[in-house]
Amino acid sequence: MAKDKKTEEQNPLEAEILREVAEEMKEEQAKKLWKKIAPWLMSAVVVALAATGGFEYTQYRSRQQAQADAAALQDALAAVQSGQIMQGAERLKALRDSSTSGYRSLAGLYYVDTLLKDGNINGALDGLDFVANDKKAPEALRSLAVLNKVSIAVDGDNPDYDGLNADLDEVLKREDAWTADALELRALIALRQGDAEKAQSCFKQIMALPNANEAKKLRASENLNLLQQKTEAEQAQ
């Protein structure tokens, strides 16, 4: 992919400043997103589903079927945790492909986790696309899938920044609990492209979000200040 025109026009000093801020942001993103998904999913999924359209197991299939899917998911995860990763992965994929309950999305996300542990990045990205594009999945989990896809793909070979921004657009349209995270990733992409102005705009939007928690607002403020301080310090030399 050709370099962004704006990046080409920057002087080396400015480009280095943006790179440093982008890498610090990326490190923070890595701490927040996929590495936190496993303990979060089982405890918060019902809340997330309920918040995105009145989730009830009976809306998908019978409660009995949902309980069977829950048992199948637990068995698959037990296999993974006992070291039988490939066997567990096969069970997770089978549940993802066959279930019509809310556990379909959970199985899909845990399946992606097994692919990442196995180093199958392309398979993981495809798996995240599966969940992100599943119109029967709760929007909160579809947004989560998009965020993790972008977080992984942005570090790949020749990332399609336009395509990744289009994916983030879908999350931002929902105005859900993941809006601040989507804006952080958009700021990261902007910094990778050398667009400090756009990155600063994203940070300011996060700080203005009424539903963003204080930690995210503080991080946005710190990133904004960091970008400004690095620029001022280099200019003073």
Can you say whether the dihedral through the CA atoms of 95, 97, 100, 103 is positive or negative? positive
Going residue by residue through the chain (237 aa), what tens digit of pLDDT does each one get?
444 444 444 445 445 555 555 555 555 554 444 444 444 444 444 444 444 444 444 454 456 777 788 889 889 999 998 999 999 999 999 999 998 777 888 899 999 989 988 899 999 999 999 999 999 888 888 998 999 999 999 988 899 999 999 999 999 999 888 899 999 999 999 988 988 889 999 999 999 999 888 988 998 999 899 888 877 776 776
- Contact between 105 and 131 (Cβ < 8 Å): yes
Using DSSP, state whether 87 is helix, strand or coil. helix
Q: What is the pLDDT of residue 7?
A: 43
Q: What is the pLDDT of residue 41?
A: 47
Q: What is the pLDDT of residue 157?
A: 87
Q: What is the pLDDT of residue 232?
A: 74
Show the beta-strand stretches assigned E in the chain.
Answer: none
For the entire predicted model, the pTM comes to 0.75
Q: What is the pLDDT of residue 96?
A: 94
* Cα gap 199→194, rounded to integer Å: 9
Q: What is the pLDDT of residue 22?
A: 56
Residues 6 or more apart whose Cβ sits within 8 Å of residue 107: 69, 72, 73, 76, 92, 93, 95, 96, 99
Q: What is the pLDDT of residue 130?
A: 95
